[in-house]
Amino acid sequence: MLSVVEAQAIVMQYVRPLTPVMIPLTSAAFGLVLAEDIASDLDMPPYDKALMDGYAVRSTDLPEGRGILTVTEEVTAGQTPRLPIAAGQAARIMTGAPLPAGVDAVVIRERTRMLDGNRVEIDDRPARPEQNVMRRGQEMRRSEIVLKAGTVLRPQEIGLLATVGRTAVSAHPAPNVAVLSTGDELVEAGRMPGPGQIRNGNGPMLLAQVCRAGGIPNDLGIAPDQVDELKAMITEGLRSAILVISGGVSAGKLDLVPGVLQELGVQAHFHKVAMKPGKPILFGTLGGVETRRQGDRETRREATSDDIPCLPVSLSPCLVFGLPGNPVSALVCFELFVRPAIRRLRGETDPGPHFREARLRQDFSHRSDRPTYYPARLDWCDQGWHVQPVPWFGSADLRSLTGANAFVLFPAGDHTHREGQVFPVLVTDE
C-alpha cells in the first residue's frame, strides 16, 4: 500500500498553479500569489524629503549644533519649496515634505525655538549631513524590480503595489472547490434523522476546510447511493478545479463512487493509502482539454497523463479526491492531500502539509497496523512545542476534535510512547 508521502508526491505531479488572471488591488488580492515581476514606475521617495517635523538646514551652518537661522518659508507635505536655502537660512518643514535646494539635514522641532516671525534658534547635537533626510530614490528607483513573481501578497506588498502605481496585478486565482457528500443515510442539518440516518456534518466541515485552505467553496449537497443521480452531481462537480467527495469510496457494496468516476473518464491514480484514519482515499484526475489556435483553426485534444508533467498553464485538469465518510478521516485526508493541492493551485511554493516536532507530555500506549494521525493538543511552553493526544473514540468521533488543534503522528505497531519522546505533529489550525 502507498505511504502518505508517496501518495502526496503522486497528487503533486498533477497540480500546477492556475493560469494567472488580472486581480484588482482590493481585498480580493490579499493572500494571492503574484504571477509577474513588478517594476517601480518612479523613484521613491520621488524627491529628497524630510523624515521629521522641524527645520531644513545646511549642516555646515551648525558644526556645534547651535545657531540662529533665518526662516525663508514653510514647506508642508504636498507642497513644492519655492526658495533655495543659502548659508544662514533654514526652512520650516513637515515630515514627508520635499527639501528645498541647498539643504542636507533636518533638525527636529523639539530642538528649536522660534524667536520672532522669521528667526529660529537651534540647540542640538552637531548637525550631521543627511540627518533626518531621505534622498530621492533611496527606497527604490524607477524600473527597478520591487516584487518578484511568486511573492505572497500581504498588507505590505499591497501597499507597495499601490505606491508603484498598480491598481491590478497578475496573480494566480483561488481555485473553485466543489464538495459533494454521498450516502443514503445522510440528511441535511435542518432535518431530524430517521432510523438509520445521520445528518451531513462532513459537507459543512469540508466547505470550511476549503475556506481555510484558501479555496472558493461550492456546496453540491448530498448525493444518494443511486448511480444516475450520483453521476449527474459528480459531472457538475468536475467543472471545478477540485472535486471533493465524501463517502462511498471504501470497498462496501454500495460504495459507488469509484465506478461512476471511471465511467465519467476520471483516471484513478490511487485508491488506498497506509494511514489511519483514512485508508480508503481515492485520487483521480479528469485530464482537461487543451485548446490551440492557429489562424482560424482551433484544435482541441484530450490531455493524457503523459501530458501532465509538462502541463501548459492553460490546461487545467480537475483533481478528484474521494474521502472516507467518517468525519475525522475526511478531515485528516483533506489536510494531508486536498489542502496542499489547493495551496499549490494558488501558486504557493510551500504548500504543506506542515509538521512540527513536539515532545509528548505523558506516556501514551498506542496500537495500529498503520501510521496514525491521532487528534492532539499542541502547545508552546517552556521554550518548546509539547503535544498531548486527546481522548478519542475513532474516526467517527468528530466531537473529540473540538479539543484538538493538531494530529500527532504515531508509527504503526504496538508501542508505549514515552513522555518527552519527539513526534511529528500535523498542524491544522494555521
Name which of residues 308 to 337 contact its own copies (CB under 8 A).
325-327, 331
| Cα four-point dihedral sign 324, 329, 332, 336 | negative
**CA 269 to the chain's CA centroid:** 27
Instruction: Show the DSSP H helices in 65-197 as ranges.
Output: 155-163
In the structure grid, which three cell numbers stand for residue 336, read together?
A: 494531508
CA distances (Å), origin 196, targets 221, 276, 318, 324, 330: 19, 25, 34, 18, 21
Footprint (CB under 8 A) of its own copies, residues 88-127: 94-98, 109
Rounded to whole angstroms, the Cα distance separating 137 from 63 reads: 28
Q: Is 56 left (phi over 0), alpha (psi -120 to 50) or beta?
A: beta
Residues 190 to 219: which contact its own copies by CB under 8 A? 190, 192-193, 195-212, 217, 219
Residues 71-90, mask of contacts with its own copies (x by CB under 8 A): ---x-xxxxx----------
Question: Which cell is 366 given?
Answer: 498506542
Query: Of residues 11, 23, 99, 160, which one binds its own copies by CB under 8 A?
Result: 160
State which residue, 202 or 316, has the beta carbon closest to its own copies. Answer: 202
Q: How many CB atoms lie within 10 A of CB 317?
A: 23
Strand ranges in 85-215 using DSSP code E only, listed in sequence order: 89-93, 105-108, 112-116, 119-123, 133-134, 145-147, 168-172, 176-182, 186-187, 198-199
| Binding positions for its own copies, 214-273, rule CB under 8 A | 217, 219, 225, 250-254
- Closest separation in Å from C-beta 114 to its own copies: 12
Identify the residue among 228, 402, 414, 416 touching its own copies (CB under 8 A).
402
* Residue 42 sits in the site that holds its own copies (CB under 8 A): yes
Q: Tell me which of 4, 7, 15, 29 binds its own copies, using CB under 8 A.
A: 29
Residue 430 C-beta: closest distance to its own copies, Å: 6
Map the footprint of its own copies across residues 162-181, applying CB under 8 A: 162-167
Q: Which of 138, 170, 267, 368 binds its own copies (CB under 8 A)?
A: 138
Q: Which is nearer to its own copies, 158 or 303 (CB)?
A: 158
393 binds its own copies (CB under 8 A): yes
Give 134 or 341: the residue with its C-beta nearer to its own copies.
Answer: 134
Residues 6 or more apart whose CB falls under 8 angstroms from that of 161 comprise 25, 38, 147, 153, 169
Told to check if 365 binds its own copies by CB under 8 A, we report no
Min CB(26)–its own copies separation in Å? 7
Number of residues binding to its own copies, judged by CB under 8 A: 102
